[in-house]
Structures are given as C-alpha cells and as structure tokens.
A and B are shown apart, each in its own frame.
Chain A
Amino acid sequence: MLLFRSEEHAGHWREARGFPDARTLSLETGWELAKAWYARKLDPDWRRHTVEEAEALFAELGLADDFWRLR
C-alpha cells in the first residue's frame, strides 16, 4: 500500500507497473481502515479478524466489491 501525490500519479504508476486493477482510497478511508484493523493489536486479548469479520469491516467502509473479498 503506497502513497501518491494524486489520482493521476497513482494511475501512472498502475499503468507503468502493470497493476490495472489496483485501487485507490482516500486518506480518510485509509485512516478509518487502519483504526478498524489495528487499534487493538497491542492489547492482550487481540486476535486476528476472521475472514467474515474482515469482509464486514471492509463493507462498512464501502469496500464491498470483488477486490476486497478474501475468499
């Protein structure tokens, strides 16, 4: 997961590197995703999300198409 100055720069990178299906996220969505994914990582009772939980988490952020499916 990389940062780009703009959608244009991200698109140029996609074409140059051969990742036509790559997806961009706004920083706001990326921050929400990071909080949902990692907020408990240092906690004693942390556990990995199940596939179902992870897909539900993506969907809550509007990331519900095939790109975000885990199975």
Chain B
Amino acid sequence: MGRAGVIDTAAFDRDVRLTIAECIRDRSAVPSLAEVAARVARPEGEVADAFGRLAAARVMILRPGTTEILSFNPFASGPTAFQVRAAGRKWPALCAWDAFGVAAALRTDGVVLGHCADVCGVPLEIRLAGDAIGALDGVVMQFALPAREWWKDIVFT
C-alpha cells in the first residue's frame, strides 16, 4: 500500500501471486478469492482486480465469467480430466502438459492419471521418477493447436 491508500499494483500482484503459491503448497489446492483476500488482509474487490491483472498477464486462468481461479498453471481447481499423485497428495490438472508440470513445479516424482482422448478412453497411468518414465509402450502426448494459438482459447488448449 502506498501513500493515501494507493496500491502499488506490481507489489500487490506479487503478494497475491506468492499467496496463491503458498496456498497450493499448504493445501494442494488452488485457493478461492475469499481465501486469498483473507490471507493478504485486503478487500475481495482489490484481490479480484489483482486476479484480473494476473490473468491478463497469463500467470493464471480464471473461470470464465468469474473472479475465481481455474488454473494457476499447472495447478488447477478440480474436478479435471487429469490427476497427479505427488508429494503424498492428489492434484488436479487441466491437461497432460500441466499434469507433468505439477510434478515439475513440486520438484518431485509423480504419477499422472488420465485417459486416452480417443474413443477407446482407456485409463493411462504415467510414472514420473527423476528422468525415468514408466508407462504403456507407445503412449504419446498431443498438442492440437500451434503454440501461437494456445492463448486464444487457453481453456480449450
């Protein structure tokens, strides 16, 4: 907070970002707007504005039409199509890359649980351990859109 109650938005946004990260580490869950506001001891409206700026800066994704976090990538608010078991907890993720990213961000081994996206829908389990990967032979990850189009519809991506 600066003079006469004027917010230093860059500093405040950093505080909000670090608070979100802290919540994720503490509870393995993406926090609500209300939880972040309580932790930073600021009105929800100010935190919602910060959420909007962080989303505009592509730090995270908001649920469409809301001021709640859908994903502080790679950490999503559930339920999602991908789950990760890591650090003794379960973590939802929006996509395969993010599911791998959960273990990467936690700097730990993990097990990614998902399904083949083709009509077979077969369950897939991928074990990430250091540089080693354990999975059925032939399993692949697929990116539908070129990189420059990812953020045109990041929820679809």
Binding site for B on A (CB under 8 A): 1-7, 9-10, 12-14, 16-17, 19, 21-28, 30-31, 33-35, 37-44, 46, 48, 54, 58, 66-71
Inter-chain contacts of A10 with B (CB < 8 A): 118, 140, 142
With beta carbons under 8 angstroms apart, the residue of A22, A24, A41 that contacts B105 is A41
23 residue pairs bridging A and B, Cβ less than 8 Å apart: A1-B96, A2-B95, A2-B96, A3-B117, A3-B124, A4-B116, A5-B122, A5-B136, A6-B138, A9-B117, A10-B140, A10-B142, A17-B144, A26-B141, A30-B97, A31-B133, A34-B74, A34-B100, A38-B101, A38-B102, A42-B21, A44-B18, A54-B147
**Most chain A CB inside 10 Å of its own CB: which residue of B24, B57, B115, B148:** B148
Report the separation of the CA atoms of residues A32 and B107 in the bound assembly, to the nearest whole angstrom: 12
A19 and B144 in contact (CB under 8 A), knowing A27-B139, A42-B105, A44-B18? Answer: yes
On whether the beta carbons of B133 and A48 are closer than 8 Å, the reply is no
Q: Could you give, for residues 116-150 of chain B, a 1 whenever the CB lies within 8 Å of some chain A CB and a 0 otherwise?
A: 11111010101010010101101111111111100
The 5 lowest CB-CB distance pairs between A and B, nearest first, are A34-B100, A38-B101, A2-B117, A9-B118, A6-B138
Number of A-B pairs, beta carbon distance below 8 Å: 153
Report if B59 contacts A (CB, 8 A): yes
Report if B7 contacts A (CB, 8 A): no
Q: Which residue on B lies nearest to A7, using beta carbons?
A: B140
List which B89-123 residues lie within 8 A (CB) of chain A: 95-98, 100-107, 114-120, 122
